[in-house]
Structure 1
Amino acid sequence: MEMDRLQPDIKYEYCDRPGEDLEGNEENDEKTLSQLWSSIKATVQKYMLQIQIKAESDMKSCQKNVLQEFNETINLLRVSYSRLSTEKDQLQNDCRTDRELKLSYLNRVEKLNKTINDIQESYSRLTTEKDQLQNDCSSDRELKLSYVNKVEELNKTINDNQVSYSRLTTEKDQLQNRFNSIEAELKKRNSEKGYSFINDKKTWTESRQFCRDRGGDLVVINSVEEQRYISSVFKEGVWIGLSDIDNEGVMKWVDNSALTKQFWVQGEPNDDRGKEDCVELNPKKPNEKNWNDIPCSEKRKWICEN
């Protein structure tokens, strides 16, 4: 549209006259053409100048607009930069916080894992202990039941024993009375027999000779009461009047009376190595099982009987 306004204002005065003789006017035509050319040239120069001015004006306007846009862009960039810097700082802080939080979480997770492992170990241990306790409780219940049954049996046994104890106490008292009577009788008989308890030690033959020199002989035992009485007097072995010196393997009393009562230690007489022919009474053994054959050459205390 601007180009239309800049069109040169050219007048065609001479071209619009019809019938005019052009040949007679060649000089005028040349002059006219020269003038026309000058006018066109001037018009073109004017137009070019207008174009240049317009271009410069448009250029300045464009530069101004570009500069303004550039400034606006710079301002926008500055605002964006500021905002981005703030966001960057915020992100850095957030990242730092996140790292710290992550580290804190990692530490917390490690602690929690350790706690979980400890709890699992404790759980396993407690489970084992619980199972053991259950087994123990089952065993304890069975043992308790066994103990209850045992206690019942023991109570019954105690009751039975109490009854037996009462009966035995009565029997003991009766036996004690009988024993006292027998002991008194034995003491009476012993005083009549005239036992002599010798604390010296001699061989069996020497001991017998000692008794015979005094009108007696080694003691002869014919009853359980007499055996118990003599066993209660001594604390160590003593010679009695029993041997198989005259006939090996045949025990005989010194008064040639029959051997009716015997109170041998288990496994005796055994005539060890063929040298045991005389008999001792060993009170350290049970009262009714304390006879033992030993070599006659051994030295013992002895009992004389008148």
Structure 2
Amino acid sequence: MASYQVQVEMEMKKLNKEMRLMKLKVHRRSNMEYILSEERESWYTAGEVCTQWGGTLVSVRDFRENEFIKGLIPSSESAWIGLNDIQREDEFENGNGEKTTYRRWEEGQPDNLYHNENCVEVMGGNGRWRDSLCLLTKRFICRRS
């Protein structure tokens, strides 16, 4: 009986998370839709949540898109994007496999501080990017077509 109750509670938490996700404001740009999460998740979990929404962590294609997503993030915060160098150090790729060449690094970045920063966040204030520890919990931006 106790294990059934735990299972039900876990399912309820999952459903509540999905409901909060579906209630987020959808921002439109061209033929794409974007959401900024209210919840804070690790980079890995953020990607899973974006998949549940029907999209992926955003892979920033150009300056205009970067300015657009910067405008979604409060200036004192940051948010995960899909770029990472998990597979090979200093070879950044997007978690969804999309090829992009646009980069907007903050000065001195990426620095791979403590040899453990493999995921990329965008800063709300200036739109610059930093590499960060993937297990830190942050807001994130999903994109879908």
**TM-score normalized by the length of structure 2:** 0.74
Would the aligned equivalents of 2:28 and 2:34 in 1 still touch at CA under 8 Å? Answer: no
2:130 aligned partner: 292
Q: Structure 1: any 5+ residue segments left out of the alignment?
A: 1-185
Tell me which protein shows more strand as a share of its residues: 2
Change (3 A) 1:299 1:258: same
- Aligned to 2:120, the other structure's residue is in SS state strand
1:231 aligned partner: 70
More RCO (CA 8 Å, sep 6+): 2
Would the aligned equivalents of 1:198 and 1:302 in 2 still touch at CA under 8 Å? Answer: yes
Shift of residue 205, structure 1, vs aligned partner: 0.3
Shift of residue 259, structure 1, vs aligned partner: 3.0
1:208 aligned partner: 47
What is the correspondence of 1:42-81 to structure 2 with a 5 Å cutoff? none
Would the aligned equivalents of 1:237 and 1:282 in 2 still touch at CA under 8 Å? Answer: yes
Would the aligned equivalents of 1:251 and 1:259 in 2 still touch at CA under 8 Å? Answer: no
Alpha-carbon distance between aligned partners in 2 of 1:221 and 1:296, rounded to the nearest angstrom = 18
1:259 aligned partner: 100
1:59-94 deviation digits (Å, cap 9, x = unpaired): xxxxxxxxxxxxxxxxxxxxxxxxxxxxxxxxxxxx
2:91 aligned partner: 250
1:139-197 deviation digits (Å, cap 9, x = unpaired): xxxxxxxxxxxxxxxxxxxxxxxxxxxxxxxxxxxxxxxxxxxxxxx9441xx312122
- Aligned to 2:40, the other structure's residue is in SS state strand
Alpha-carbon distance between aligned partners in 2 of 1:282 and 1:188, rounded to the nearest angstrom = 20
Would the aligned equivalents of 2:37 and 2:139 in 1 still touch at CA under 8 Å? Answer: yes
- Aligned to 1:194, the other structure's residue is in SS state strand
- Aligned to 1:238, the other structure's residue is in SS state strand
Tell me which protein shows more helix as a share of its residues: 1
Would the aligned equivalents of 1:218 and 1:241 in 2 still touch at CA under 8 Å? Answer: yes
Q: Percent identity?
A: 26
Change (3 A) 1:209 1:227: same
RMSD value, Cα: 1.6
Q: Structure 2: any 5+ residue segments left out of the alignment?
A: 1-26
- Aligned to 1:211, the other structure's residue is in SS state helix
Residue from 149, 170, 195 that aligns with 2:34 = 195
Aligned residues: 116
Would the aligned equivalents of 1:208 and 1:217 in 2 still touch at CA under 8 Å? Answer: yes
1:110-151 deviation digits (Å, cap 9, x = unpaired): xxxxxxxxxxxxxxxxxxxxxxxxxxxxxxxxxxxxxxxxxx
Change (3 A) 1:247 1:228: same
